[in-house]
Amino acid sequence: MKSLTKKFFSSISNNINIILAIFSFSILSILIVYCLTASPIADVWYYFNRYHLARNHGIVQGFFIYIKDSFEHTGRFFQWIIIFFGFLLFKINAIKIIPILLLITLFVSISWLLYQLKLFKNNKLSIFSVSCILTISSILMLPSSFDSLLWLDASVSYLGSLACFILIINFIFLMIHKKIPLHYQIAIFLFVILSQSLIETVSIYIIAWLFLISSFLFITKRKKHLLTLLKFLISSIIGFLLVYFSYGSIKRRETSPELNLKWIFFDSFSSFSRMILEWKYVLLFIPIIVLAGFILTNTKKINLSSKQLLLIALSIFMSATYPVFILNNIVQDYVPHRIMSLPIFATVISSFIIGISLQKSKLLKFKNNYKIFSVLLIIIVIISTPYIINNMRLRIEKTSLREHLLKVRDIDIKKQKNNGLDTYIIRELPNNLISNAEDMIYSPNSNKLHWTVTSYLEFNGINSNLDVNKIRVLKGNYDF
């Protein structure tokens, strides 16, 4: 019996990478299927209409018209660039393809960073499995995966900025350890400038970290890499200022709520805690991430102590949670779910570093208990897999149903148009997932149609300047 148990434990520990790779890649594949069920909502019709108008002037001129619109609308010109080329290449199906490309970019950027850090003994397979785990955790632990992944403009801004942040870290490592030709350096710094125009909160976060690290290098007289960090810092500041002083950004600040210190500094705590409560079962990812860092990492190549690693994990977590909510609460009177992309990723990375710290501390006697912890990790994976798959199945069913009903609504609105009816009847189609995305905002007592309604009408070739009395929006009552 003992020999059988020993063989079982050995088999698990020897194949831990393969098991984790199969588990994480399977969930990542389901996430890609989830992306394929995306359907237009909220701003998507507006962005597509603006693209369609600009595209009528040709690709080159249309591109510059679209970028001009971005400066006048939000100032987030890189977001608009990605959306423009998404619509150019994939038409309205960009709402499905771009989230997939963002997922792949996040996975690749994490893989590249882990490769550069050289943290694993079994390098390639460990990098693949850990990168998959970190990627799927960063999505599934979000309070609203719909807003951060399937809502086109929100996913480009928040998930895109996260992927760009990791790419910037990769570029810093690359320029520190290798001699990069000048033209490649210029391309990298142009990318850094562009990436800061995705979302301001992440841009400020990047600038703050680059400033702190640069200051540390300067104070400790470690000037070898200081110039490289300063180049990235200056590029980031330039990108942020381009957004900050754009016409659209200035107009948005004019409508910002008055400063409320209680809302900005104290309610930020409750905002984060409320969203943590929405994690529910996906907290199972935390022990998976911690154990992956504990089991798979080669700590011989890490020159930091266990306490230093814990301090780094705590710094990442604290800097990407409370300050991010403060920044949000300065300019908005509500906390959107999509803002959690950076805090959740910081939580994921902090958990992974804690795992490395535990191995480094030698408190858990890693060498003696490696097989036991490997089996424990597999048990947690086995327990969590049915919950994850079932939850993803429910999400896919809801988004697929909305996609189907949207096609029915489009056919219906075109029939109404062809029949020349005086009044158009549109049924609202909420996504019925945790989300801030609005399908239709309609008030029968208003003297003007909301832009979500006019954008949808324009998308279907109907005059968006119709009298408010000629439109009726019925609240959706479908059983999702």
Summarised one tens digit per residue, pLDDT across range 175-230 is: 988 888 999 999 999 999 999 988 888 899 999 999 999 998 888 877 778 889 99
**Are residues 161 and 167 in contact, defined by beta-carbon separation less than 8 angstroms?**
no
My answer on whether 384 and 442 are in the same domain is: no
Distance CA 173, CA 194 (A): 19
Last residue of a domain, one of 397, 430, 465: 397
Residues in a beta bridge with 426: 473
My answer on whether 158 and 283 are in the same domain is: yes
My answer on whether 464 and 449 are in the same domain is: yes
My answer on whether 319 and 439 are in the same domain is: no
- Residue 340 placed within a domain: yes
DSSP 306-356: HHHHHHHHHHHHHHTSHHHHHHHHHH-SS--GGGGHHHHHHHHHHHHHHHH
- Residue 468 placed within a domain: yes
My answer on whether 422 and 449 are in the same domain is: yes
Residue 144 pLDDT: 84
Domain residue limits at 194: 15-397
Last residue of a domain, one of 329, 363, 397: 397
User: How does the average pLDDT of the chain come out, rounded?
Assistant: 84
My answer on whether 382 and 412 are in the same domain is: no
- 170 versus 123: the higher-pLDDT residue is 170
My answer on whether 379 and 414 are in the same domain is: no
My answer on whether 157 and 266 are in the same domain is: yes
Is residue 339 scored above 60 in pLDDT?
yes
The per-residue pLDDT for range 283-326, each reduced to its tens digit, is 778 888 998 888 888 888 788 888 999 999 999 998 888 888 88
Last residue of a domain, one of 352, 371, 397: 397
Instruction: Give me Rg for the CA atoms of the chain.
Output: 24
Least confident window among 82-96, 110-124, 175-189, 345-359? 110-124
Is residue 348 scored above 60 in pLDDT?
yes
Question: What are the structure tokens assigned to 419, written together?
Answer: 């029949």
- Residue 479 placed within a domain: no
Residue 276's pLDDT band, with cuts at 50, 70 and 90, is low
- Residue 6 placed within a domain: no
Distance CA 171, CA 192 (A): 10
- Residue 456 placed within a domain: yes
**Are residues 426 and 473 in contact, defined by beta-carbon separation less than 8 angstroms?**
yes
Residue 33's pLDDT band, with cuts at 50, 70 and 90, is very high
Which one, of 112, 135, 123, lies nearest residue 29 by Cα? Answer: 135
Is residue 419 scored above 60 in pLDDT?
yes
Is residue 248 scored above 60 in pLDDT?
yes
**Are residues 259 and 330 in contact, defined by beta-carbon separation less than 8 angstroms?**
yes
- Residue 5 placed within a domain: no
- Residue 141 placed within a domain: yes
Q: Give the 3-state secondary structure of residue 215.
A: helix
Q: Which residues contact 208 (CB under 8 A, 6 or more apart)?
A: 319
Q: What's the domain count of the chain?
A: 2
My answer on whether 389 and 452 are in the same domain is: no
Mean pLDDT of 464-470: 76
Residue 479's pLDDT band, with cuts at 50, 70 and 90, is very low
Residue 480 pLDDT: 40
My answer on whether 274 and 412 are in the same domain is: no
Is residue 271 scored above 50 in pLDDT?
yes
H helices within 337-424, ranges in order? Answer: 341-361, 366-418
Is residue 427 scored above 60 in pLDDT?
yes
Residue 121 pLDDT: 66
- Residue 2 placed within a domain: no
Mean pLDDT of 426-433: 81
Residue 84's pLDDT band, with cuts at 50, 70 and 90, is very high
Mean pLDDT of 378-388: 87
My answer on whether 92 and 170 are in the same domain is: yes
Give the CA angle between residues 18, 20, 23 to the nearest 5°: 110
My answer on whether 370 and 439 are in the same domain is: no
Distance CA 148, CA 162 (A): 11
- 430 versus 296: the higher-pLDDT residue is 296
Is residue 102 scored above 60 in pLDDT?
yes
> Could you report how far apart the first and last alpha carbons of the chain are, in Å?
51
